[in-house]
Amino acid sequence: MSKLELVFVPAPAVGHLVSACQFAENLLNRDERLCITILIIRPPPPWDASIDAYIKRSSSAPEGSRIRYITLPQAELPSSEELAKSIENYFSLLIANYRPLVKEAIISNKWPNSNPKIIGIVIDMFCSSMIDVANELDIPSYLFFTSGAGFLGFLFYLSVWHDQVGREFNRSDADLKITSYAHPVPSKVLPTFAFVKEGYSSFREHGVRFKETKGILLNTVSEFESHAVNSLASEPELPPVYTVGFLNNLEGQKSKGNSKPEDEEIMKWLDQQPPSSVLFLCFGSAGSFDPPQLIEMAIALERSGVRFLWSIRRPVDAEPTKFEDILPEGFLERTNNRGMVCGWAPQVDILAHEATGAFVSHCGWNSTIESVWHGVPIVTWPLYAEQHINAFQLVRDLEMAVELTLVCRMHESEREIVKAEEMEKAIRCIMDSENPLRKRVKDMGEICRNALMEGGSSSISIGRFVETILDS
């Protein structure tokens, strides 16, 4: 039986890589003729550690496996000046420098004992420059978009805005009518890159180039983002859209036997709490707060009286400190019987636990889909990237979250302190067992899980994509 190969080029970020690998595994389950090569672009330090750890776990595939990982040599890095201007544009420039290395890897790295026909190159949202490689090799290209349909619609909107206005956005701009959102979008909730010339121009170019692909694979469920998905499907100039999500590490580490002693301590504490009673606070690997904000958060948690599990990440350049040194005096002792403070936390395992009742989140897409998948409602606290527009969509369009803050702040110095009173109000709202939002999220979680089962919307969409590539 002749093999057919797909080549994946994910962005050098672990959240993007995990989703791509999960999708690749789903595809392999669909047809035994398929095999997949994932080309790894390693980011420069200090961003590479988590990718290395993930690849080490994932690449220990048994002999004869139909998925393989090839780590590419280091390409030339863009200048530090580009990094200072826009991290999004910096990574886009970095990936563009990998074009000759990707082309060489595709040509040179043959599978042992077989010579499969390459039927597609699957690129990440930061990797539109790889469409050039696909064109040179006369191979179809497909976009695997790790975020949601609403955000993708915003990227397509950038060209519309530029034709009308000809510049990046200002936070004073009027509300925007973006077809992928059901409500007008305030400029203050746009992604941080939209206000920076280099980041704005980079993503506008990505959006233009996405239309050159043969298909768009979205990490979402059609029932979850029905308005946004329908708006994309109705655009005649777009290639076919496939909703193939949710895709991420949705089963967690505990089920894989990878838990660490500190994780086990957290899970043991959760086991002792009543169902749906714990408020989980976690803001991603880069989500940190200065001591004045941490103090307000602690005051709110203490006043609210709720049980809580609080993951505190300190800034990379901060001096190592004990929790008691940055939290109000006596806070840990006074809340010891109903709260736990930790550093890194096994987020998926916590969201999956029956004791977890709500999630105060930065609203990154992976965190969003993990929370919805497990039926846990969200309190929005976006910090950077596209998190603000995700939070807006969750609160306004989807009614799946309680708003604490939505506003984009470009720099740490511009961040307003969220007062304890505001946070306490949001906590009481989300933890109210009579709040109908809680049932909506539970129901949507069930719908999203069913979507990936046989006969579900995502399963059907993945099937349509497999049929397309096998017939090409």
Q: Give the residue numbers marked as catalytic.
A: 16, 124
Cβ contact 391:382 at 8 Å = yes
- Size of the chain, expressed as the number of residues it contains: 472
What is d(CA 60, CA 54) in angstroms, rounded to the nearest whole number? 11
Cβ contact 220:245 at 8 Å = yes
Torsion sign, CA atoms 156, 160, 165, 171: negative
Beta bridge partners of 118: 5
Q: Where are the alpha helices (DSSP H) in 165-224?
A: 197-210
Question: Which residues lie closer than 8 Å to 73 by C-beta, 6 or more apart?
Answer: 101
What is d(CA 400, CA 225) in angstroms, rounded to the nearest whole number? 11
Question: Which residues lie closer than 8 Å to 177 by C-beta, 6 or more apart?
Answer: 184, 185
Ramachandran quadrant class, 52 (left: phi over 0; alpha: psi -120 to 50; beta: rest): alpha
**Following DSSP, what letter does each residue of 92-124 receive, concatenated?**
HHHHHTTHHHHHHHHHH-PPTT--PEEEEEEE-
